[in-house]
Amino acid sequence: MSGTLRDFDIVREPAEIGEIVPIVALLLRRASRVLDHDAPAARREIQRALDMLWSAGAETTDAQPSAPRRPRSALAPWQAQRVVDHIHAHLETPMRVEDMAGVTRLSASYFFRAFRRSFGRSPHAYVVALRLARARALLMESDEPLSRIAATCGFADQAHFSRVFRREVGSAPGVWRREQYGLRVTDRAAASGNGANCEA
């Protein structure tokens, strides 16, 4: 993945990183176990971990990590992991709170409150953040048309995707993609110039 954590800093109300760490650690352990014999599966687990960090706004290099804890009425670790797996497996399809609550064996109302306490935002906001993180990665790393990216990331259509992207990122997807392409070209040119200077 070519983006940095700053590239994907898209959530305005980040969850406490202490709530995310245990799940990210579990995903990375799962990736490590299958890396030698199933590299694609390992990459999927790593991508899930990255998505969680990006959506949590986890650019906290100067902050002291907080100890993992579970607030009162938050999701249990197994519930949090199960709902995260469900979200990633169905990110391209419409997602209802009732369906997410079902995989945790909770009522929709209780699940909504517990999810918010665990992840620092509503289920809908969390799903939108992950969809935007995936969309940004596809915009940067592929030439897929916006309509296909919108469908792949679970937006109703290209207009819906563009509207949400502009609201959260500040520019239209096509404009943002061209800006990122320009930055990469500039970075490559600078790196090439530095290499030439070193050889001289």
Token digits for 189?
């040119």
- Position 14 scores a pLDDT of 38
Q: Give the Å distances, CA to CA, from 88 to 39, 67, 134, 155, 163.
A: 18, 26, 10, 14, 22
- Position 115 scores a pLDDT of 95
- Position 37 scores a pLDDT of 84
- Position 51 scores a pLDDT of 73
Q: Give the Å distances, CA to CA, from 113 to 74, 98, 116, 122, 128.
A: 8, 13, 5, 8, 18
- Position 32 scores a pLDDT of 81
Entry pTM:
0.61
The CATH code belonging to domain 6-193 is 1.10.10.60
- Position 158 scores a pLDDT of 96
Domain ranges of the chain: 6-193
- Position 15 scores a pLDDT of 45
- Position 130 scores a pLDDT of 93
DSSP line for the chain? ----TGGG---SSPPPHHHHHHHHHHHHHHHHHHTTT-HHHHHHHHHHHHHHHHHTT---TTSPPPPP---TTPPPHHHHHHHHHHHHHTTTS---HHHHHHHHT--HHHHHHHHHHHHSS-HHHHHHHHHHHHHHHHHHH----HHHHHHHTT-SSHHHHHHHHHHHHSS-HHHHHHHHHHHHHHHHHHHHHHHHHHH-
- Position 164 scores a pLDDT of 96
Q: Report the chain (200 residues): mean pLDDT per 10 consecutive residues.
A: 34 45 75 81 77 57 44 84 94 94 95 94 94 92 94 96 95 93 64 58
